[in-house]
Amino acid sequence: DGGLYLIDTPGINEVEGEERERMAHEVASRADLVLFVVDSDLTDVELKALRMVTNTLRPTLLVVNKADRYTETEQRQLRAILRERTHGLIAPENLIFTTSRPTRQVVIQVDENGEEQENLRVRPVEVQALKTRLWDILEAEGKTLSALNASLFAGNLSSEIGQRVLEVKQELGQRTIRFYCLAKGVAVALNPIPVADILAAIALDVTMIVHLSRLYGLPMSRTEAGELIRTIISHMLLLVGITWAINLASSALKLGTGGLSTILTGATQGAVAWYSTLVIGNVAERWLANGKSWGDSGPKFVVQQIIDSLDRDSVVSEAREEIMSYLKKTIKNQTG
């Protein structure tokens, strides 16, 4: 009752790679049935696109057009080659040969006087095999195809919505992590006692992870958050021990000045704390986004990925500048 609609797309070889993949996926995800048209053996590009289309679970016909260019023997050979190359992708009955726009054929006729005359003859259009197969599919599976397409479309829509929700959570998560990076950096910079630095750092990291867990709808207790932090830090110590050496050196400098630090020293210490919270926050967010799972590779791999994605020197430098700016404004407001 809804009618039959045809969507024609540019040839696979007429568009660039990314656009081709997007187009193939987009069209296939909206169609009940796909006609994949070629005029010879499949190129690597066409075979890749065909795999992409069949992966959408839509029924697909492989149509070889311009069949009139081949002799019967050549058609049999081409059919055998295509069946072998598309095994598992295209059912044998869904490999169809057609001639939608026949080529003109030169026919030489000899008249009664023995003179030759050339005439052009147009071969007949040959699409009956395709029509028959389409009708067979529509009669046997028409309602099933529509239902299948509707369910797959709903599934795609659900996936798209889920992906968008995840993106929003990640955006909010990054804002949350940045907030705690600044809070921890300033707290450490202002606190002249190294032991108190550590206590403040741990407390803020725990609070950050509890906050992130609620954002992802997977609430954690402070005890659970503390255990997660211990797991992350243990791998950080193995992977970036130098960062913690800088942290300890800065703490020692504070002790050497009787627990009193300059703005620069405090900001440097705070910047290192900022970096550690940035790593911890991103690792925790990755773990939460994956449903409280490290995946097959384990926590060390995730920590390594996050560390590799960050330019430590740039992060520490920018963090130090921001902390110094914050401290100077605070001092100015207090003295003003």
pLDDT per residue as tens, the chain (336 positions): 444 555 666 566 555 556 656 666 666 666 678 888 899 999 888 888 888 888 877 788 999 999 988 999 999 999 999 999 999 999 999 999 999 888 777 777 777 777 877 777 777 888 889 888 887 777 666 555 555 455 544 555 455 556 766 777 888 889 899 999 998 888 888 775 555 556 666 788 999 999 999 888 888 999 999 999 999 988 888 876 654 545 544 544 444 444 444 566 778 888 888 988 999 999 999 999 888 999 888 999 999 999 999 888 889 889 988 888 888 887 776 665
286 closest CA partner among 299, 296, 273:
299
Reading the block at residue 79, the tokens are 């059919």
pLDDT at 309: 92
- Residue 258: its pLDDT value, please? 42
Q: Which residues of 20-44 are buried (b: 16+ CB within 10 A; e: fewer)?
A: beeebbebbbebbbbbbbbeeebee
Sign (positive/negative) of CA torsion 47, 50, 55, 61?
negative
H helix or E strand, kind and range, residue 106:
strand 104-110
pLDDT at res. 209: 94
Between the CA of residue 244 and those of 30, 250, 258, 269, what are the distances in Å? Answer: 54, 10, 21, 10
**Length in residues, the chain:** 336
Residue with tokens 């797991």: 231
pLDDT of residue 148: 47
Measured between alpha carbons, how far is 288 from 282 in angstroms, rounded to an integer?
10
* Euclidean distance between CA atoms 153 and 9, whole angstroms: 20
Phi, psi of 216 (to 5 degrees): -90, 5
Domains, in order of start, for the chain = 12-100 (3.40.50.300), 161-335 (no CATH)
β-pairing, 104-110 with 116-122? Answer: antiparallel
Q: pTM above the 0.75 mark?
A: no
Phi and psi based region of residue 293 (left: phi greater than 0; alpha: psi -120 to 50; beta: remaining): beta
Which of 58, 25, 60, 61 is CA-nearest to residue 147?
58
